[in-house]
Amino acid sequence: MPLTLSFYKTSEFIFLTIALTVFTRLIIYLLKRTWQKQKCKLVWTPIDVVERRSNLLYDEFVKEYASVGKPVIITDVIKDWQATTKWTLDFFKSECGSIECFVKEDKDEIEGLMTIADYIDYINIGNSDRRFYLANWFISNHPQLLEDYKEPIYFPNWLQRLPRKLLKKYGLDNPELFIGHKDTSIGLHKDPSNGSAWLGMISGRKQIVLFTPDQEQLLYSGKVDVFNPNLKNFPLYAKTNSIEVILEAGEILYIPPNWWHHVKNLENTIAVGSLLLNEWNSELFFQSICEQNLVKGHLLPLVLEFPWLGKALFAIGVI
């Protein structure tokens, strides 16, 4: 009898401890969300030029760029990556040649599939009138590539808390590789779901034209070719105020939420980039997901706070 009583008391104590822990975590979560809703509003800073910085401390990045919605080029982060010397066209053809990836034709954005080997042969031949761009090649599919670069300290990414299969299901897997033929471009766009992003150049150079979020109504939903604008069809574009940068090999560009940008390859290029979800755009991100699916939009912050919940919900097919 005493043994049974002791067992029940122990069980009750364990249950109350777990309940109190869960309750405390929920209170902390709700307080954190309240703070984030006050903090995470679309903020941007008008600029005339994108600054280049080296030896940038994380606190400086937050204060001078992330918290005020201001792009920046960081010049000394990539230099220690193995990718800077290892990732060449020949390397990708040899190590990943049989993999199929999406390519887009520069003129009309038509997607198709091509093996890495065929795409690199196409680049090396260089006599085609067609211009294909290889994008959306996710590094997570190839663990051997993950060892060749390091996530920059400036860009914590809450998306990494979610199950990889869940990220792939919703097109949020990151980071991704971009291999571009000279003169190809990714059309004018802003990154999805109110995400911020970073883009690192392994080799080659890109020309990037950026627009502050308040100019969205002048950009015709990205239909304008920034590098050859048709002002007859898109007359409001003439009123825009753009900022242009040349991103060199070894540099990283940070793009804040809702900044529109058009990217063109000045040479054959290899780059890596990632969509970001963190404290500086979290509520904007959640709002965007809610607009697509109300239930999943409200679940996302919960599963980010409690990763075990995300795994469970994904396993039973709720998300």
Residue pLDDT, tens place only, 153-169? 999 999 888 878 778 77
58, two tokens: 């994380």
Concatenating the DSSP letter of every residue in 159-184 gives GGGS-HHHHHHTT----EEEEE-TT-
Higher pLDDT, 130 or 215: 215
Nearest CA among 273, 251, 254, 249 for reference residue 88: 249
pLDDT computed for residue 3 by the predictor: 47
Q: Report whether pLDDT(55) > 50.
A: yes
In angstroms, the Cα distances linking 256 to 61, 71, 176, 263 are 12, 6, 18, 15
Q: How far is CA 149 from CA 3, 20, 200, 211, 258, in A?
A: 57, 41, 10, 29, 27
Which tokens is 269 given? 């290029």
pTM of the full structure = 0.86
Instruction: Answer with the residue of higher pLDDT: 302 or 33.
Output: 302
Summary mean pLDDT of the chain: 86
3 state SS for 20-42: HHHHHHHHHHHHHHHHHHHHCCC
Higher pLDDT, residue 161 or 73: 73
Question: If you search the block for the tokens 């809703």, which residue do you land on?
Answer: 37
Q: pLDDT tens digits for 204-227?
A: 999 999 999 999 999 999 999 999
Out of 253-267, 268-282, 297-311, the most confident range is: 253-267
pLDDT band of residue 40 (cuts 50, 70, 90) is low
More confident residue, 221 or 186: 221
Q: Average pLDDT, stretch 230-245?
A: 96
Q: Are 253 and 73 in contact (CB under 8 A)?
A: yes
pLDDT of residue 108: 63
Joined together, the tokens standing for residue 278 give 């963190």
Q: What's the confidence (pLDDT) of residue 34?
A: 64
**pLDDT bucket at 33, cuts 50 / 70 / 90:** low
Q: State residue 194 phi and psi, 5-degree precision.
A: 60, 30
| Of 21-25, 56-60, 74-78, 292-296, minimum mean pLDDT range | 21-25
In the predicted structure, residue 234 carries a pLDDT above the cut 80:
yes
Q: Going from the N-terminus, what domains does the chain have, and what CATH number goes with each?
A: 42-278 (2.60.120.650), 281-319 (no CATH)
Which tokens go with 26? Answer: 């929920």
- Distance, CA of 265 to CA of 247 (rounded, Å): 10
Q: Read off the tokens for 316.
A: 């039973």
